[in-house]
């Protein structure tokens, strides 16, 4: 008879591609984990993992079994969550990942209030880029992500939270500071600083301004990083400009506010959403989290009609 423990073990090995690491994550010894997986293979009369490869990989038959095992484990978790929902309980662990261009500005706004309102929810939060969040959601290493949508991923559910404007941030002596009218095409020059590849905000800026073939030859050096704060400090010192999300404006000191400009021919927006898989069971917690986040941002952020959503994929 197949057990949930056996399914948990094969999913862990598939996730970490290492028997010892999987055993450690499951809080058992490696011999115990290996014995249970071997027993499952004998029960099913198939080989689930190719142990000759390093890192270990599932066989073709094993991939199908592991895929179903993930579904079974997720469905089993729903039983406990259904009981909590019926009782009106908001409790349990919630594993959240947030992209770097949202985390430093949004997390301080809602996490404390959410935790005080729901003390029985244990929050585990980390920064990850979008691609990693999607991957970890599929592997059940995360419960929910906070990122920019739409993703156009069939297996991912998107719950939009708010819409923030994309703004121009430039050096205090740059002509953009005093330019009366700024159109999107005005910033498609080699003076623009961008985050490194892999960040959705970079791709939004590239798509908005049609920078696909642009080379920043006028910049003093190439910058490979994922921190908007670092980018703005470089601009303050070296010149040039970039785009920033509206939430970043909230934390910029008043003395630097005049370095921020809006586009005059359009209002480019990015859609920030909660994302989770179709197998996610913690529906009550998700609703409470969405409410906490939406109520923590300025009310005009909730108005989708105030501008045009810029896609990044």
Report the pLDDT value the prediction gives residue 258, as an integer from 0 to 100.
Answer: 93
Element holding 230 (H helix, E strand): helix 228-238
| CA distance linking residue 252 with residue 100, whole number of Å | 17
| CA distance linking residue 164 with residue 244, whole number of Å | 10
Report the pLDDT value the prediction gives residue 46, as an integer from 0 to 100.
Answer: 94
Q: Given pLDDT bands bounded at 50, 70 and 90, which one contains residue 86?
A: low
Report the pLDDT value the prediction gives residue 210, as an integer from 0 to 100.
Answer: 75
> 4-84 and 89-163+270-309 share one CATH topology?
no
Using DSSP, how many helices (H) and how many strands (E) does the chain show? Answer: 10, 10
Question: Are 198 and 169 spatial neighbours (Cβ–Cβ below 8 Å)?
Answer: no
Report the pLDDT value the prediction gives residue 216, as an integer from 0 to 100.
Answer: 60
Query: Looking at the domain covering 89-163+270-309, what would its CATH class be?
Result: alpha beta
Minimal CA–CA distance to 186: which of 216, 208, 166?
A: 208
Question: What burial class does residue 189 get, using C-beta atoms within 10 Å of its C-beta: 0-12 exposed, 13-18 middle, 19+ buried?
Answer: middle
Report the pLDDT value the prediction gives residue 224, as an integer from 0 to 100.
Answer: 66
Q: What is the pLDDT of residues 236-268, one digit of tens each?
A: 999 999 999 999 998 999 999 999 999 998 999
In CATH, the architecture of 165-268 is 3-Layer(aba) Sandwich (3.40)
- Helix-strand-coil percent breakdown of the chain, rounded to 5? 45, 20, 35
| Boundaries of every domain in the chain | 4-84, 89-163+270-309, 165-268
Specify the residue for token string 């985390």: 103
Question: Are 102 and 272 spatial neighbours (Cβ–Cβ below 8 Å)?
Answer: yes
| CA distance linking residue 107 with residue 40, whole number of Å | 43
| CA distance linking residue 178 with residue 191, whole number of Å | 16
Angle between helices 103-117 and 283-294 (to 10 degrees): 120
Q: What is the pLDDT of residues 175-219, one digit of tens each?
A: 999 999 999 888 888 888 888 877 888 888 888 877 766 566 666
* Residues contacting 122, CB < 8 A, separation 6+: 92, 93, 94
**Three-point CA angle 265, 270, 99, nearest 5°:** 145
Minimal CA–CA distance to 184: which of 267, 253, 296?
A: 267
| Percent share of the chain, pLDDT over 90 | 67
Report the pLDDT value the prediction gives residue 14, as an integer from 0 to 100.
Answer: 93
**Statement: residue 88 has pLDDT above 80:** no
Question: What burial class does residue 53 get, using C-beta atoms within 10 Å of its C-beta: 0-12 exposed, 13-18 middle, 19+ buried?
Answer: exposed
- Quick one: DSSP state of residue 17? S
User: Residue range 113-136: average pLDDT?
Assistant: 93
Report the pLDDT value the prediction gives residue 6, as an integer from 0 to 100.
Answer: 95
Q: Given pLDDT bands bounded at 50, 70 and 90, which one contains residue 171?
A: very high
Report the pLDDT value the prediction gives residue 215, as an integer from 0 to 100.
Answer: 62
Q: Which fold has domain 4-84?
A: Arc Repressor Mutant, subunit A (1.10.10)
Q: Given pLDDT bands bounded at 50, 70 and 90, which one contains residue 92?
A: confident
Q: What is the pLDDT of residues 4-42, one digit of tens each?
A: 999 999 999 999 999 999 999 999 999 999 999 999 999
pTM for the whole structure: 0.77
Q: Which own/partner contact pairs does 74-83 have at CB distance under 8 Å and 24+ positions apart?
A: 74/140, 74/277, 74/279, 74/280, 74/281, 75/279, 76/4, 77/281, 78/281, 81/281, 81/282, 81/283, 81/284, 82/281
């Amino acid at each position: 008879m197949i057990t949930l423990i056996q399914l948990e073990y094969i999913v862990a090995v598939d996730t970490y591609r290492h028997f010892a690491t999987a055993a450690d994550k499951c809080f058992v010894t490696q011999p115990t984990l290996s014995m249970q997986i071997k027993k499952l293979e004998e029960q099913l009369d198939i080989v689930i993992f190719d142990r000759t490869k390093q890192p270990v990989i599932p066989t073709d038959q094993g991939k199908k079994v592991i895929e179903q095992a993930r579904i079974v484990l997720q469905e089993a978790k729903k039983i406990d969550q259904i009981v909590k929902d019926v009782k009106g309980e908001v409790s349990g662990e919630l594993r959240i990942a947030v992209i770097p261009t949202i985390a430093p500005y949004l997390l301080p706004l809602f996490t404390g209030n959410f935790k005080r309102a729901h003390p029985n929810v244990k929050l585990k939060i980390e920064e990850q880029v979008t691609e990693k969040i999607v991957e970890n959601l599929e592997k059940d290493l995360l419960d929910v992500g906070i990122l920019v949508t739409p993703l156009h991923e069939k297996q991912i559910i998107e719950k939009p939270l708010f819409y923030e404007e994309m703004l121009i941030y430039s050096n205090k002596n740059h002509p953009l500071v005093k330019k009366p009218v700024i159109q999107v095409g005005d910033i498609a020059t080699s003076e623009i600083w961008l985050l490194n590849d892999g960040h959705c905000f970079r791709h939004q800026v590239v798509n908005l301004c049609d920078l696909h073939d642009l080379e920043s030859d006028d910049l003093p050096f190439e910058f490979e990083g994922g921190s908007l704060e670092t980018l703005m400090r470089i601009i303050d010192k070296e010149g040039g400009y970039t785009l920033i999300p509206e939430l970043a404006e909230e934390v910029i000191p008043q003395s630097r506010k005049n370095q921020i400009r809006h586009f005059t021919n359009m209002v480019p927006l990015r859609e920030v959403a909660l994302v989770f898989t179709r197998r996610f069971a913690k529906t009550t917690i998700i609703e409470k989290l969405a409410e906490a986040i939406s109520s923590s941002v300025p009310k005009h952020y909730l108005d989708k009609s105030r501008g045009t959503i810029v896609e990044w994929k």
